[in-house]
Amino acid sequence: MSENIDIDVKYLTRVEGHGNIVVNAEDGDIKKCEWQVIEAPRFFESMVLGNSWRELHHITSRICGICSMAHQFASLKATEDAMGIEISEQDQLLRRLAYHGEMLQSHILHVGYLSFPDLMNEQSVVPLASSRPEKVKTVIRVHRLGNELSETL
């Protein structure tokens, strides 16, 4: 007896952005397994056209509200490379440190606010503020620390 299975999850929650999962199996073999990114194009490439190179890193930092520094630093690096500019080692290290602060807050956002409720069989972090207040306070402190590190630099 053959068995075909089609799984089509249209809207995934608790991910940064929007996505679907599609899995098709025939006779026990997976024929298709896809993670579909369903974000509409936002045309940032067109938005930067005609702007001064001095403005590009401000514009590209708006690509994502969670990882704005990563986009800003990528834009700065592209501009510097195009213009043959080499920044000092100290500036490189400061950028890296600021980026690590952003990465810290991004990771704790995922683990603390998106994954932790699932692991505790809760719908969101809100009920955990009552049942596990110290854990939630730790998540908030680490999230704040990552933001403060990036902002300070």
* 64 annotated to a ligand binding site: yes
How far apart, in Å, are the Cα atoms of 29 and each of 24, 106, 111, 138? Answer: 9, 36, 32, 43
Question: For residue 35, what are the contacts with CB-CB under 8 A and spacing of at least 6?
Answer: 19, 20, 21
- Cite the DSSP H helix spans in the chain: 44-48, 53-60, 68-83, 89-108, 116-119, 126-131, 133-152
CA distance 114 to 108: 9
* 33 annotated to a ligand binding site: no
* 45 annotated to a ligand binding site: yes
Coil, helix or strand at residue 151: helix
Q: Which residues pair with 34 in a beta bridge?
A: 22
Within 10 angstroms of residue 128's Cβ, the number of other Cβ atoms is 20
User: Binding site for Fe cation: what residues are annotated?
Assistant: 67
User: Binding site for Mg(2+): what residues are annotated?
Assistant: 45
User: Binding site: what residues are annotated?
Assistant: 45, 64, 67
User: Binding site for Ni(2+): what residues are annotated?
Assistant: 64, 67
